[in-house]
């Protein structure tokens, strides 16, 4: 859930399936979840409380609880939070289960140990340094292409470097920065300060379209599931149909039919791209 569309899909799911429900029981399987200044008694802080609202701050989730407390889920890079039937079998890397009243359970699965769950007074959530304002969140805020263009000029970096930087736009990562560049027909090595007005508009439009499309396709559900198939964490995931370049090396470009390449367009940042139609 370090990617923005993934986090938005989870927020929507929780809003639909968890708000109004009460936490009946909590099992914390991974001590690391509460190790860094969180609540040692996370289960005690959650049990019996009703979830009243779900909000998203960048890629992190905030579940408001009755009684003026909030559960902050600072997800790890490979973490997924789901809400589903209580009888679902045990998953690998299951770190937390919160059973809800009237059936259903929240599950947090993560192969890493960099996630954090903490319960804090709702009034203090905004002041948490982890949740302080990062880059632009195109799914939550309105910004104009002209403001976007000014920031591109001010930053003056290779497009791939800039798009993958969460202090510019939250949660695009490698996957969506490659998709945004392909959608705009722009090469990742291009300097952000040297785009024409037309190119800025193309990049802006592609950014919004890629994110909205990813949410529509339930980003996490269709990509993480294929990544986690098999036991081999290192295995290459299967190409995902609705993504245009990511993980599609050697397959034909949907626009010009040349083969998609995977390689460095900027030093140290390999990218999926079409060398023919991204210029
Ligand atoms: Zn192409």
User: How remote is the CA of residue 251 from the centroid of ligand 1, in Å?
Assistant: 10
User: How remote is the CA of residue 112 from the centroid of ligand 1, in Å?
Assistant: 36
Residues whose CB falls within 8 Å of the CB of residue 209, separated by 6 or more in sequence, listed in order = 183
Confidence of residue 129 (pLDDT cuts 50, 70, 90): confident
Give phi and psi for 58, each to the nearest 5. Answer: 60, -125
Q: Is the model's pLDDT at 230 over the cut of 70?
A: no
- 89: burial class by Cβ within 10 Å (0-12, 13-18, 19+)? exposed
Give phi and psi for 103, each to the nearest 5. Answer: 85, 165
- Residues above pLDDT 70, as percent of the chain: 90
Residues whose CB falls within 8 Å of the CB of residue 230, separated by 6 or more in sequence, listed in order = none
Residues whose CB falls within 8 Å of the CB of residue 211, separated by 6 or more in sequence, listed in order = 4, 5, 138, 139, 176
User: How remote is the CA of residue 241 from the centroid of ligand 1, in Å?
Assistant: 16
pLDDT at 67: 93
Confidence of residue 37 (pLDDT cuts 50, 70, 90): low
User: How remote is the CA of residue 234 from the centroid of ligand 1, in Å?
Assistant: 28
Beta-sheet strand order (sheet of 80-84): 23-28, 94-100, 105-109, 80-84
Identify the bridge partners of residue 272 per DSSP, sorted by sequence position: 262
User: How remote is the CA of residue 155 from the centroid of ligand 1, in Å?
Assistant: 27
pLDDT at 203: 98
User: How remote is the CA of residue 275 from the centroid of ligand 1, in Å?
Assistant: 7
Q: Is the model's pLDDT at 40 over the cut of 80?
A: no
User: How remote is the CA of residue 177 from the centroid of ligand 1, in Å?
Assistant: 16
User: How remote is the CA of residue 51 from the centroid of ligand 1, in Å?
Assistant: 47
C-beta separation of 189 from 181 below 8 A: no
User: How remote is the CA of residue 213 from the centroid of ligand 1, in Å?
Assistant: 20
- Whole-prediction pTM: 0.89
Give the separation between CA 119 and CA 182, rounded to whole angstroms: 40
User: How remote is the CA of residue 274 from the centroid of ligand 1, in Å?
Assistant: 5
User: How remote is the CA of residue 215 from the centroid of ligand 1, in Å?
Assistant: 24
User: How remote is the CA of residue 187 from the centroid of ligand 1, in Å?
Assistant: 11
User: How remote is the CA of residue 190 from the centroid of ligand 1, in Å?
Assistant: 17
User: How remote is the CA of residue 186 from the centroid of ligand 1, in Å?
Assistant: 11
pLDDT at 88: 66
Residue for token pair 């023919």: 276
Residue ranges of domains in the chain: 4-131, 145-273
User: How remote is the CA of residue 145 from the centroid of ligand 1, in Å?
Assistant: 25
Give phi and psi for 179, each to the nearest 5. Answer: -65, -40
Residue range 145-273, CATH number: 1.10.8.50
Give the separation between CA 206 and CA 211, rounded to whole angstroms: 8
User: How remote is the CA of residue 182 from the centroid of ligand 1, in Å?
Assistant: 8
pLDDT at 226: 44
Report the 3 state secondary structure along the chain.
CCCHHHHHHHHHHHHHHCCCCEEEEEEECCHHHHCCCCCCCHHHHHCCCEEEEEEEECCEEEEEECCCEEEEEECCCCCEEEEECCCCCCCCCEEEEEEECCCCEEEEECCCCCCEEEEEEHHHHHHCHHHCCCCECCCCCCCCHHHHHHHHHHHCCEHHHHHCCCCCECCCHHHHHHHHHHHHCCCCCCEHHHCCHHHHHHHHHHHHHHHHHHHHCCHHHHHHHHHHCCCCCCCCCCCCCCCCCCCCCCCECCCCCCECEEEEEECCEEEEECCCCCC
Confidence of residue 80 (pLDDT cuts 50, 70, 90): confident
Residue for token pair 């390449």: 261
Residue range 4-131, CATH number: 3.20.190.10
């Amino acid at each position: 859930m370090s990617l923005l569309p993934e986090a938005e899909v989870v927020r929507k799911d929780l809003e639909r399936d968890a708000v109004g429900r009460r936490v009946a029981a909590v099992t914390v399987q991974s001590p690391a979840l509460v190790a860094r200044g969180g609540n040692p008694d996370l289960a005690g802080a959650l049990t019996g409380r009703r979830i009243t609202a779900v909000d998203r701050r960048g890629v992190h989730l905030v579940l408001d609880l009755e009684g003026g407390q909030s559960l902050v889920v600072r997800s790890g890079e490979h973490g997924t939070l789901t809400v589903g039937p209580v009888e679902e079998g045990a998953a690998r890397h299951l770190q937390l289960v919160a059973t809800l009243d009237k059936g259903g359970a929240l599950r947090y699965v993560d192969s890493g140990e960099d996630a954090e769950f903490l319960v804090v007074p709702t009034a203090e959530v905004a002041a948490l340094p982890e949740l302080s304002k990062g880059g632009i969140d195109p799914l939550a805020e309105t910004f104009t292409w002209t403001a976007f263009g000014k920031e591109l000029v001010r930053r003056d970096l290779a497009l791939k470097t800039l798009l993958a930087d969460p202090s510019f736009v939250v949660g695009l990562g490698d996957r969506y920065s490659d998709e945004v560049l392909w959608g705009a027909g722009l090469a990742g090595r291009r300097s952000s300060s040297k785009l024409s007005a037309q190119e800025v508009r193309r990049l802006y439009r592609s950014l919004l379209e890629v994110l909205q499309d990813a949410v529509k396709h339930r980003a996490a559900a269709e990509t993480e599931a294929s990544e986690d198939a098999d036991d081999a964490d290192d295995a290459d995931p299967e190409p995902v149909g609705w993504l245009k370049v990511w993980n599609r090396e050697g397959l034909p470009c949907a626009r010009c039919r040349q083969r998609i390449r995977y390689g460095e367009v900027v030093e140290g940042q390999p990218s999926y791209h079409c060398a023919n139609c991204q210029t």
